A = this chain, B = another copy of it.
Amino acid sequence: MKMRLSKKSEYACLALIDLSESYEKGAAKIEAISKRKRIPKKFLEQILIALKRAGYLHSKRGNDGGYWLAKDPGEIKVAEVLRLMDGPLAPVDSVSQYFYRPTPIERHPRLHCLFKDVRQQMIEKIEKTSFADLIR
């Protein structure tokens, strides 16, 4: 089994932390976030657009443009962001909550059950943790 936090997820979290830290202090430019959190700018662009499309951010173009949070940091859970960036959190599709699909492992109930537990254990914490929790 491989559990990996992709750079995309990692950068998305760092960007949201940055925006949470300056919540209600106006728009932040890509350039600024990129420098503060050391994220490649063009890569960050794509990530912010994805977050915007998913409804987590607002933006404005032009001289005093930038991004800002569309929700309270307390309402954005880490798990949502990881799912948005990398897809299902489950180790196999047959134990996935939102992306269920049958797999060979289902034929072996105990093994299936084990990975269901693993998923549950893992997910518990990140479904509770919000970005407000991360900046406190």
- Give the dominant DSSP class at A's interface: helix
How many Å lie between the Cα of A54 and that of B92 in the bound state? 25
For the complex, count residues of A whose C-beta is within 8 A of B: 41
The answer to whether B125 touches A121, judged by C-beta atoms less than 8 angstroms apart, is yes
The answer to whether B86 touches A1, judged by C-beta atoms less than 8 angstroms apart, is yes
Chain B: CB-nearest residue to A109: B134
Contacts of A13 in B (CB 8 A): 111
Q: Which of A4, A87, A103 has the most chain B CB atoms inside 10 A of its CB?
A: A4
The answer to whether A125 touches B133, judged by C-beta atoms less than 8 angstroms apart, is no
Check A4/B2 contact, CB under 8 A, given A111-B13, A118-B125, A121-B124: yes
Contacts of A82 in B (CB 8 A): 1
Least Cβ–Cβ distance between A38 and chain B, in angstroms: 7
A-B contact pairs, 26 of them (CB 8 A): A1-B86, A1-B126, A2-B4, A2-B6, A2-B86, A3-B3, A3-B4, A3-B89, A3-B90, A3-B119, A5-B115, A10-B92, A10-B103, A10-B105, A14-B104, A17-B108, A78-B114, A108-B134, A110-B134, A110-B136, A114-B126, A114-B134, A118-B122, A121-B122, A121-B124, A121-B125
